[in-house]
Chains A and B, each alone.
Chain A
Amino acid sequence: MRSTLRARIIALAVGTALLVTLLAAVPILILLHAQAHAEADQRATYAAQSAADYLSASRQKADLLAPYVARLNGRDDPPVTVILADGRTVGARLDADVADAVHDVTGPHLDADRDKDTLHEVSTPYTTDVPGGRVVQVFTRTPEGSARAVALVTDSSVRSRLAQEYAGVGLVAVALLLVAWAAAEVTGSRLVRPLSRTARTAVALRDGDLSARAAVEGPEEVAAVAIELNALAARIGELLTQEREATADLSHRLRTPLTSVRLAVDGLPDDARRAEVEAGLDRLERTLTQVIRAARRGVREGVHPRCDATAVVADRVGFWRPLAEDQGRRVTLTLPDRPIWVRSAVDDLEAALDALIENVIAHTGDGTDFAVALQATAEGAELRFTDEGPGLPREAATRGCSDRGSSGLGLDIVRSAAEATGGSFGLEEIDAHGRAHAVVLRLLRDGSS
């Protein structure tokens, strides 16, 4: 199935926006990842240093250590654990595997209060990977010996913070895509709406409404299509008018002298010679009528001839059936159970069927049966007309050749009807004497049904 122009424009805009967003998002996410870890480490370092500074203040009473650490841990910072010189811990509890990893780090040798400011020395922070995260340790001396403050940064806390930031980035990306989609939708509509209206005008013209005109609107290229379509519609109208005038002229030029001849023949003595001339005149008039009818095809059909072959065949066979029955002919009619829309004017298909049936009635004896069968085919419809009469000579399929002794005009009408749809005509079921007993019309389907 073909995608619409609007869908293509939207796909292009959203696809481009998605690509740009991805190109921008990857470094942003990497940066956010690095920044989250660095910030967590920094905050852990700060918390550990705060606790170590407190420990180094020898004048602070040791019993205030626990409330101080609890206050630190009450903030939104990595939890701090103080490990005293005697191995006791104050603050957040460390898992055993984390505690083991912490104890694997031996701090630096720190002097006592070298500068005599009553504050003991504090080490630089030591950052170490531990199971489930990282720890920052800051060592200090206490009167009881070396102690350390440990701040734990868990991977889960960093991931949780990153998830929030990633979600923010995702929302911004989705918002960008929505903006791109909306912009493409607006642009697509502005482009497609006038194009769709122009296409509807083309359909109306195809269906025979030659007054339909496209509005000149939209981008320059679309407006140009509308202008050219309108010019084409006007040209079709002009051609049809010219054709109508030409056939009216043809009709006038041929019928007027023929009237003089007929009136002149009326004045002849009523004898065999006059009858002969009248018979010739009759044939000439019939031929003339068919020639004018053929010349008028374009005018009669308009730009979009179509009819339901099932209905037309049923109607014409129904029309002729009483005469056939009066003549002792059995008529077999086989029709599909649904309409078959073919590319033919009703008049033309009716004329073809009338010619076929009339041919049998005129040139076969009473009691000669005939059958009409219409069936749907991949291309449209096949009409098979079969009779049990003496058959038609093979040459009858050739244009202008006589059929069963007549002028051949009947089969020309049938051929024209089939060929006007883009279909074909032929004779089948040839017997040993080279005579055909079936006329087959292949009619092409009307594409717009």
Chain B
Amino acid sequence: MRVLLVEDDPAIRSGLVRGLAEHGHVVLSASTGAQAIAMLSEDRPDVTILDLGLPDLDGSHVLEMAKVLKSAPVIVATARDDEREMIRLLNAGADDYLVKPFSAAQMDARIRAVLRRVAPPETEDRVLAVGGLRLDPVAREASLDGEALDLTRKEFDLLQALMQHAGEVVTKRALLAEVWQQPWGGADRTVDVHLSWLRRKLGETAAKPRYLASVRGVGVKLTAP
């Protein structure tokens, strides 16, 4: 993927360029708004990561320009975690946002998620299936043995993350990073409680698991019963 990184902080810029390159992306970087707008039209990146606090222009102006140029999807990377500001940016055309601090792995997961949303594969290719479990990430529908599952947004994302790694032990830290976009490990209980809810909705318990098996001290694994 060709990623345009618009970030004025040199430390963050170099760290993210290196981190995303390790995840297989080709990273172009710009440190000002004017430079970013020029690169949007000339280099046609697949995705743009945009910091809002730029020295010459407010990042939201770059976002407007990206929409005018009908360029690649934009992920806003911001230190502003004000809910109203996030809603304003999403309404202004941002495809996603990530609040600082974040890791390169998180940003990589976001890039892939945004690209999946923007260019979804055909239904039969995108639907995940494990045993009697079916999950369509685009239609956001999940079913178990043909019965639709009533999942909250987080439960759906959690199930999706686990089905994408079916048969593998996924650490809670990885789930926190992918589903909650929180790199810190201290919120393990958030994952635990959502797993418990998911178990109930899949008709199983921790004592009698079918699809979701906890691997003590490591993480959780989703397998067909």
Chain A residues near B (Cβ < 8 Å)? 244, 248, 251-252, 254-264, 266-267, 279, 281-283, 285-286, 292, 319-320, 322-323, 325-327, 358, 361-362
A329 shortest CB reach to chain B, Å: 11
Q: Note all chain B residues with C-beta closer than 8 A to A262.
A: 15, 101-103, 183
| Beta-carbon nearest neighbor of A300 in chain B | B83
Q: Which of A261, A263, A320, A362 has the most CB of B within 10 A?
A: A263
- Taking A259-B79, A326-B199 as given, write out 15 further A-B residue pairs in contact, using a Cβ cutoff of 8 Å, ordered by the A residue number: A244-B82, A255-B101, A259-B9, A260-B9, A262-B101, A262-B183, A263-B104, A282-B184, A292-B81, A322-B193, A323-B193, A325-B196, A325-B205, A326-B205, A327-B206
Nearest A residue (CB) for B187 = A286
The answer to whether B99 has its CB under 8 Å from any CB of chain A is yes
State the CA gap A419–B12 with chains docked (Å): 38
With A256-B79, A282-B183, A326-B199 as contacts: A266 and B100 at CB distance below 8 Å: no
Question: For the complex, would chain A's binding face be called helix, strand, loop or mixed by DSSP majority?
Answer: helix
| A263 B199 Cβ-Cβ under 8 A | no
Inter-chain contacts of B205 with A (CB < 8 A): 325-326
State in angstroms the CA–CA spacing of A259 and B53 once bound together. 14
User: Which of A258, A259, A282, A361 is packed against the most chain B CB atoms within 10 Å?
Assistant: A259
Q: Does B142 contact A (CB under 8 A)?
A: no
Which residues of B are at the interface with A, using a C-beta cutoff of 8 A? 9, 11-12, 15-16, 18-19, 53, 79-82, 85, 99-105, 183-189, 192-193, 195-197, 199-200, 205-207
Known A-B contacts A327-B206, A362-B189; A255 and B18 likewise in contact (beta carbons under 8 Å): no
Report 24 cross-chain contacts, Cβ distance below 8 Å, ordered by A residue. Answer: A252-B79, A252-B80, A255-B81, A255-B100, A256-B100, A260-B11, A262-B101, A263-B12, A263-B15, A266-B19, A267-B15, A285-B183, A285-B184, A286-B184, A286-B187, A322-B197, A322-B199, A323-B189, A323-B195, A323-B196, A325-B205, A326-B206, A358-B189, A361-B192
B183 near A256: Cβ-Cβ < 8 Å: no
* Residues of chain B contacted by A266 (CB below 8 angstroms): 15, 18-19, 103-105
Q: How far is the CA of A362 from the CA of B53 in the complex (A)?
A: 38
